[in-house]
Structure 1
């Protein structure tokens, strides 16, 4: 079962994912170099007040020492284990909340390993989408119709129709924009 629209989408997704990891790797390297320089040069630590929460005190303000990390003309204050300065820098570079897995891939794997991982993800996505379509319309496809802005309608030999389309989703636990392919049983479009 081969769908040109699905293959194009998977190819575009693969290309954008590889570019995403290349850019994320570059940004994390810039942050790491600037942070190491600031920390190792023993730049003057700034004392700042931050909001904190503890089970004994509840919400309260505490004073911490922060490392001022200078990148370009902007200063990011890094303190504590949360990586507040790093997170602010990533957001300024266009990266919202990134998953721990994405950060690990960008930091610790070389480009070839990341590409292999993305290709594996593409193949897994292809198998899952095709399995969903086959569950509805069997393995034999009679007709495929691509509707602009509404995805694909696939009619199987059993007469059932699968509607496949793509949406942007925001995530659940970790808010992170991603693309989902949905497949549902539908009625055939009459022309």
Structure 2
């Protein structure tokens, strides 16, 4: 049975959710983009894509976790579109400033790679908890689970992450 047959008005649901969802979607981008203009553009793209999806004959359920999923795809598309990401030459090698950031940067790259290989529900809960710095109750609300179920999911997600993380990695 389709959502329309049940009386579900997805475009109206999205408009109703907009004020509540905007800070979460924009916050997702602002922590992951080099500047606010890019975060604002990607936020707009996310809501436009959501409205397009909401107008389909069988629209998805419109909620904040679904919007964050759309946002993840928009961010990935943005970085795929950037042709200049590896073409900026380094003017000169920066001098060490007392702390070696190389290990931290390598750990970040490896962690992102491991995260990308995890199932979506593990990626989502780990990103919300550790990248977005959300509390467990906030994560639970955003993914539509109980706090207890979210804590259990976090345990499983961390275990899966550690299993795939190379030896000698995360400090």
Q: Could you tell me the TM-score, scaled by structure 1's length?
A: 0.22
Give the structure with higher Rg (CA): 1
TM-score normalised by the chain length of structure 2:
0.24
Higher relative contact order (CA 8 A, sep 6+): 2
- Richer in helix (by share): 2
